[in-house]
Structure 1
Amino acid sequence: MFGTVKNEGGMLFSGNNFKVVKKVLKSGEQIPSHNHESDNIVLSVLKGKMEMYLNDTEKHVLVPGDILNFDGVNFIKGTALEDSEFNVTLVKK
């Protein structure tokens, strides 16, 4: 077998320079403010609707198909506006 398929929440894949995590949130659940200083972040919404803030000031409302990219030195926090699923890819700088 050459590929691996996963669809559950949590850590999906990791390597020397990356991690892929799937988050599954119910409507109203929140992601507390945090950062990942040593990574670049790619956040891809799969289902639902997410309201995300970077550094408490930059607001993004994300729906399926939206991809948010940012330097992990920035702080992110968010709220699921609907039941939501999204992948977070962390790539070492």
Structure 2
Amino acid sequence: MTQPTHPIGQEINAFGQVINNKELMLVHLRLKSGEQVPPHDHKGQEVFFTVVAGTVEVTLDETETYRLSTGTVLHFPGEARVGVKAVEESEFFVYLINRQ
């Protein structure tokens, strides 16, 4: 496969915060089984949490828990406090879209 001199597309396979501009932040994470992301919020943003491998439990405002597996997307307002726990080794993308 040939790569163009001035590509239109951008392959993203790094981990961490991979895009951060005025419209969107994209975070790519991998957690080992049992690892957690402590509760936090993303005020002023809409959040789309997309699992690409494994299974995680996502808790919103310490009252709702969602068990998400590969191919699942969870949407929620950034004002909700979100915590994540990997049920098994997992990989996911979090799209944080800034409200206009």
Q: TM-score range by the shorter chain?
A: over 0.9
Task: Tell me the CA shift for residue 14 of structure 1.
Answer: 2.4
d(CA) in 2 for partners of 1:6, 1:78: 22
- Unaligned 5+ segments in structure 2 are 1-6
Q: 2:19 aligns with which of 8, 13, 35?
A: 13
Aligned to 1:90: 96
Aligned to 1:40: 46
> Structure 2: which amino acid aligns with 1:48?
G
Larger Rg: 2
> Structure 2: which amino acid aligns with 1:82?
E
Please give the TM-score of this superposition, normalised by the length of structure 2: 0.90
Runs of 4 or more consecutive aligned structure 1 residues displaced over 6 Å after TM superposition = none
Aligned to 1:52: 58
Aligned to 2:70: 64
d(CA) in 2 for partners of 1:42, 1:34: 15
Aligned to 1:73: 79
Residue by residue over 1:28-70, the C-alpha shift from the partner in whole angstroms, topping out at 9 and shown as x without a partner, is 0001010011111000000010011100010100000000000
> Structure 2: which amino acid aligns with 1:47?
A
Q: Is the partner of 1:74 in helix, strand or coil? A: coil
Q: Is the partner of 1:60 in helix, strand or coil? A: strand
Q: Does 1:22 align with 2:28?
A: yes
Q: How many residues align?
A: 93
> Structure 2: which amino acid aligns with 1:74?
A
Q: Is the partner of 2:71 in helix, strand or coil? A: coil
Please give the TM-score of this superposition, normalised by the length of structure 1: 0.96
